[in-house]
Structure 1
């Protein structure tokens, strides 16, 4: 009996070990995407091309578990080059797959290319979108979920269902016309979108060809909404009529769980909230109203969807739920400060999030970055420290690897702690100290809420303030439980400070998430280099690497040399 009992115990232990190993190693997910400009999908009643993936707008969900390998074979059926970037996916040791102009050659029309990346040591809510040619304004975006491994607990009960909700502003003009106007006219600074869409659908009650977005719930059940701002211009305030929300996650970090009536979501950001269907069985408004602009209940610029109880017999009516004053930045900043890291929750790894402490770090670098706008040779540009980024035909990553940057960019000429006397254009590439802590201070000299994103890393959001940042501002930092995310807002006339640990070698894009700002130059690249030959350094280029610019004929040289 003892012998049998011993083996009966070993069998479930062995099964558990197999599950643990499989979960730790991840699986391969294979996707094929046909990207096209479709004029039959009309979010509104206007005729315009919409960028679809496999005929879908928004595009298909990438549903993964931490450590999975994702293979996305992209067929470009547009009439212009295309790249996708994976907003918030850190691409550990692998900026070759980052999908921005400084790291990848574009996929040419009628060609295909396969991205391969690992969602390593991450959980949470993210999204993807086309990163060049202003194409994000035409669609092509979609949700990404990275789920916990089975051996890592989630710090809240399993919801009845999960909903992806991509909300963003939208123009009546097609993205090519909007792009042309942005690039050639000084009035581009004042380009205002025409409507706010929810999952590619116009507001409830608005004349359009698609039904408004609606989510069906059952009374008494709790649901997870993964909300992303996929727009180009507006931050928005999100709320659901008569329902409270519990904030639980943002961009790969579990948060302290706070109950909210409404939530500000800034361009490029993602959040998860839990909503319990605890009201009378009826229909209720889901609202996304823009910040820093006056609207009313009938405005096109108020996104409207419906929370539909399964036994509801009535259509939603009446006034919209009142949100905060859209010009009340104190409300927004105080809410942002209340978004804290859940130090006891498990992350993608078994150790809790709070293991990674920033209260006693030694900073090796500080970049003070002023975001503003300028005219350069009569053209509209957005600048950082009075420098507008100049996009080259040769991706920086290729130049860095194959020719040590020679003839393409000059390292560290960009002023990281001062402002140029005159606005100029240049290829801005700066050194990030490998395995050093960097402090990034974003100053916003614009009259809108800016939003900054760093590829390749999650950063600790340690401080917000109004006015000019100064070294004394550090006394106001939250170094105990700052939330970790990859996109952070900067209020007009204010500053935001973040800490990042640069342990991920590569060429990484730091940019404004406001599409026009990014398109017109508000970006730079941080080169995090590790010369150590140990395996911790970045992976070599993939076998299917695309070549262009000065590296276009490099494969012929390599063949001859071999």
Structure 2
């Protein structure tokens, strides 16, 4: 886009009352910045020097252009998590899947249109462990004149939950990969960049949410953490859930929500007290015997007129293994399924897939911590090997030798998936599963107990899907499918596979390209719990992948 066109677009955005702004321009400078969080002065990778990064605002059907300039020593990509990227996979962002990374000193313009979506999403780095600090909110407002399907709030607040390491996160994961062991857990959780009071760091203040008595607020809550599902709770107040993953739900009132990495939740809170200060808490959920950062991040809900030295009303966050609290939230979610926002669940299924997700152990003669072995992760016993050429590029230009299309649609070996098998080894490969355009998919994701059962928040790029079923133990296709919710299942882009259980999703493959699917616990992605769907072009004029942009980074 030349400078004159950019100038005209800017004029349009400066006068939204006269002309609807349809082009949004942003610039992301990826830079190092020193920070004193947790009494550490280490430099961290940031966007525009901010942690969390800036919140992007757009409207449904807007065209968004973001120029990302890499000023750091690492390769960088940015993923617009949950944006469907209809025919624009080149802007999706996962490194070596849809693009080669932006190298130091280079730039790339992400160019995509937000089609049929509104709500809260997030953006984050999608290479290495950089998303620990390179992340932020993405707020998609409805079209002008289109109201929310819930009472209009007095104010909206973006709340970003995350993890914090005192050490450099790249050093943390590199050390773990060399040794073959699990990486160190984070040192704290954060709410909008602040952990709240923590030991050995007296300078830390928490985030403050100011409210006025009698007003209702919309909290746009985002979990940008690397490796942990989080509970979110506010002392003395109920939260009315109205949206998850930028999809409206039937309003439900709860005191605690569960939000996995990559998920978002919009909740209304009414300031129904006369005054006071109330604790806001974000704490980990993990109902399997896995080490997690067990510190609770805290903030304060502060009523206007309340003195600063007023004691804060406290709340007790759920225990780390509070499965019942987690299940109560998950089971309460239903699509709004209104005339305006119908739940278009595929009723006819072309592909019934069954994917096991979990951990394994492979030989590693150089690994010191694992006695000649290392922990790996897999889907259907395939530990994904990252290519050195982007899959989408290889697909578009018919480049051979980069990937194969023989990803198994079912587990290659049948066993008691939630038991403990004798064979812990997996196979390595760069495999994709091919889908014809507009075909429908039912995918059951089954956790395995090969090492230990674990929660797996699985994210599918390029699509929303409907969570039609969920259960514990091994999935039984004859019995369990009879209880699927095909009327108003919740619509998401990231879904939690329960420890020792399964979840069933359905989606329509109406977006051509190569689309990543992976566990959003970054440690599991690093270990290989990932794969990709290749969706062929359709026959219609708007059913083909668009050509790559001229500034697409090269490997």
TM-score (norm 2): 0.88
Secondary structure of the structure 2 residue equivalent to 1:182:
helix
Matched-pair contact (CA < 8 Å) for 2:232–2:281: yes
Matched-pair contact (CA < 8 Å) for 2:432–2:532: yes
Matched-pair contact (CA < 8 Å) for 1:282–1:315: no
Give the drift of 1:134. Answer: 1.4
Matched-pair contact (CA < 8 Å) for 2:441–2:509: yes
Cα distance change on mapping 1:315 and 1:509 into 2, 3 Å:
farther
Mapped partners of 2:259, 2:26: distance in 1? 29
Mapped partners of 1:209, 1:383: distance in 2? 42
- What is aligned with 1:470? 476
Once the two structures are superposed, residues 262-320 of structure 1 have per-residue CA deviations (whole angstroms, 9 ceiling, x without a partner) of: 111112110000011111311110011111379xxxx9610100111111104464673
- What is aligned with 2:441? 438
Once the two structures are superposed, residues 131-155 of structure 1 have per-residue CA deviations (whole angstroms, 9 ceiling, x without a partner) of: 1111112x01000000101232211
2:295 maps to 1:289:
no
2:152 maps to 1:158:
yes
Mapped partners of 2:106, 2:310: distance in 1? 46
2:32 maps to 1:29:
no
Cα distance change on mapping 1:277 and 1:508 into 2, 3 Å:
same
Cα distance change on mapping 1:357 and 1:384 into 2, 3 Å:
closer
Once the two structures are superposed, residues 208-231 of structure 1 have per-residue CA deviations (whole angstroms, 9 ceiling, x without a partner) of: 655311111111111110111111
Once the two structures are superposed, residues 106-136 of structure 1 have per-residue CA deviations (whole angstroms, 9 ceiling, x without a partner) of: 0000111111111111001111111111111
Secondary structure of the structure 1 residue equivalent to 2:177:
helix
Give the drift of 1:355. Answer: 5.7
Please say which of residues 171-180 and 323-332 is displaced more in the overlay.
Answer: 323-332
- What is aligned with 1:16? none
Please say which of residues 440-449 and 212-221 is displaced more in the overlay.
Answer: 440-449
Secondary structure of the structure 2 residue equivalent to 1:178:
helix
- What is aligned with 1:115? 110
Matched-pair contact (CA < 8 Å) for 1:285–1:316: no
- What is aligned with 1:537? 544
Once the two structures are superposed, residues 360-410 of structure 1 have per-residue CA deviations (whole angstroms, 9 ceiling, x without a partner) of: x111112211111122232332111111111111001111111x2412111
- What is aligned with 2:195? 202
Aligned structure 1 segments of 4 or more residues deviating by more than 3 angstroms:
19-23, 314-320, 323-326, 419-422
Once the two structures are superposed, residues 79-104 of structure 1 have per-residue CA deviations (whole angstroms, 9 ceiling, x without a partner) of: 02100101111101111111012110
2:342 to 351, 354, 360: 354
1:278-427 alignment runs, 5 A limit: 278-292=272-286, 301-315=295-309, 317=311, 320-344=314-338, 352-354=340-342, 356-358=344-346, 361-378=347-364, 379-402=374-397, 404-411=398-405, 413-419=406-412, 422-427=425-430
Matched-pair contact (CA < 8 Å) for 1:143–1:164: yes
Cα distance change on mapping 1:371 and 1:293 into 2, 3 Å:
closer
Once the two structures are superposed, residues 294-347 of structure 1 have per-residue CA deviations (whole angstroms, 9 ceiling, x without a partner) of: 9xxxx9610100111111104464673134443232332232121001112xxx
- What is aligned with 1:496? 503
Structure 1 unaligned regions, length at least 5: 1-18, 345-350, 549-562
- What is aligned with 1:429? 432
1:186 to 177, 180, 191: 180
Mapped partners of 2:434, 2:242: distance in 1? 35
Once the two structures are superposed, residues 466-493 of structure 1 have per-residue CA deviations (whole angstroms, 9 ceiling, x without a partner) of: 1011202111211110011100111110
1:542-557 alignment runs, 5 A limit: 542-548=549-555
Matched-pair contact (CA < 8 Å) for 2:161–2:225: yes
Give the drift of 1:33. Answer: 1.3
Give the drift of 1:495. Answer: 0.5
Matched-pair contact (CA < 8 Å) for 1:204–1:305: no
Mapped partners of 2:53, 2:149: distance in 1? 29
Matched-pair contact (CA < 8 Å) for 2:351–2:440: yes
Mapped partners of 2:310, 2:482: distance in 1? 48
Please say which of residues 369-378 and 246-255 is displaced more in the overlay.
Answer: 369-378
Mapped partners of 1:537, 1:178: distance in 2? 41
Structure 2 unaligned regions, length at least 5: 1-15, 365-373, 414-422
Once the two structures are superposed, residues 443-487 of structure 1 have per-residue CA deviations (whole angstroms, 9 ceiling, x without a partner) of: 112433210010111100111101011202111211110011100
- What is aligned with 2:100? 105
Mapped partners of 1:135, 1:424: distance in 2? 27
Mapped partners of 1:466, 1:257: distance in 2? 26
Mapped partners of 2:43, 2:352: distance in 1? 43
Name the Cα RMSD after superposition: 2.1
- What is aligned with 1:175? 169
2:233 maps to 1:239:
yes
Matched-pair contact (CA < 8 Å) for 2:275–2:305: yes
Mapped partners of 1:301, 1:132: distance in 2? 26
Q: How many residues align?
A: 511
Secondary structure of the structure 1 residue equivalent to 2:524:
helix
Secondary structure of the structure 1 residue equivalent to 2:93:
coil
Matched-pair contact (CA < 8 Å) for 2:465–2:492: yes
Mapped partners of 2:294, 2:318: distance in 1? 18
Give the drift of 1:256. Answer: 0.4
TM-score (norm 1): 0.87
